Amino acid sequence: MSTSTWFSALKKPAIAIAGAATVIGLASPAAAAQPPGDGEVGTQVVGGTRAAQGEFPWMVRLSMGCGGALYTPQIVLTAAHCVSRTGANTSITATLGVVDLQSSSAIKVKSTYVHRSPTYGTATGGDWALVKLASPVTTVPTLKIATTKEYDTGTFDIAGWGDTSEGSQQGSRYLLKAKVPFVSDTTCKAIGGYYRSLIPSAEICAGDLANGGTDTCQGDSGGPMFRKDNTGEWIEVGIVSHGNGCARANAPGVYTEVSTFAKDIAAAAAKI
């Protein structure tokens, strides 16, 4: 996959929120229907605003240029395209507990192991991965994941330190947030072109089709797409995966459907 292609489609790099237009885009302009290759970074949040300290405490920034969410005190859930393989890995640093990446209060923990979804890159889909940390982070709450499709609709929240506009290649120092509406699988596939290869059973589309303006972008890959459940608690329903550009009209972001892989994620986390 060429550099221009993956940069446009995947959102591995950082999430950032753009100015007046407020658009959050998952991938850059071009497009491959699948996320970037091993170790490649993707998109960020466009069209967002700054998150307050402690608003989304489980957000994680990974040193390879991806986002993630604290799944257990010692495991970060991110995207498979952010890592190269399953196995021992001490090269990743996770930054937690802050919205300002330059804050002296940031918690930084090295990785020890990575589990990459074995179905990633196949017709089954599965752009998810787990990063085990060297020690548990007990001062930061975890984000639970959806185990049924009950919450795979409505209006979702996104957040990240990625690019604030398509092609900017400049991540955000501060955590940015935005909201994106659900786009049905039928509507998403009907857009055609880039979206013909959508895997309905494994992916969720979200974005303002009519106007664009808000989306995840390069650098936001692996970060969570989330919403409130029936008890008012945050729940992760998607993982930033790929898209056709960032915050373009009629070009929604594509997210890993967490509920589809919830059992596999839990089983893998119990073993690493």
User: What is the mean pLDDT of each successive set of 10 residues along the chain, which is 272 residues long?
Assistant: 36 40 30 39 64 97 97 98 98 98 97 98 97 98 98 96 76 92 98 97 97 89 97 98 93 97 98 96
Active site residue 127: yes
So what's the pLDDT on residue 165? 74
User: Selecting from 3.10.129.10, 2.40.10.10, 1.20.1250.20, 2.30.30.90, what CATH number does the domain 59-142+261-271 have?
Assistant: 2.40.10.10
So what's the pLDDT on residue 176? 94
Which residue among 221, 241, 242, 259 is the active-site one? 221
CATH homologous superfamily, domain 3-51+145-260: Trypsin-like serine proteases (2.40.10.10)
Which residue among 111, 127, 172, 215 is the active-site one? 127
So what's the pLDDT on residue 112? 98
Which residue among 8, 28, 81, 117 is the active-site one? 81
What does the alpha-carbon distance between residue 218 and residue 46 come to, in Å, rounded to a whole number? 10
Q: What is the pTM of this model?
A: 0.86
CATH 2.40.10.10 domain span(s) along the chain: 3-51+145-260, 59-142+261-271
Residue written as tokens 């089954």? 124
CB 25 within 8 A of CB 79: no
CB 67 within 8 A of CB 99: no
Q: What is the dihedral sign for C-alpha 54, 216, 64, 265?
A: positive
Backbone torsions φ then ψ of 49, nearest 5 degrees: -130, 165
Active site residue 242: no
Active site residue 157: no
CB 44 within 8 A of CB 218: yes
Nearest to 129 by CA among 58, 176, 59, 66: 66
Provide the β-strand partners of residue 113. 88, 132
So what's the pLDDT on residue 7? 35
So what's the pLDDT on residue 28? 28
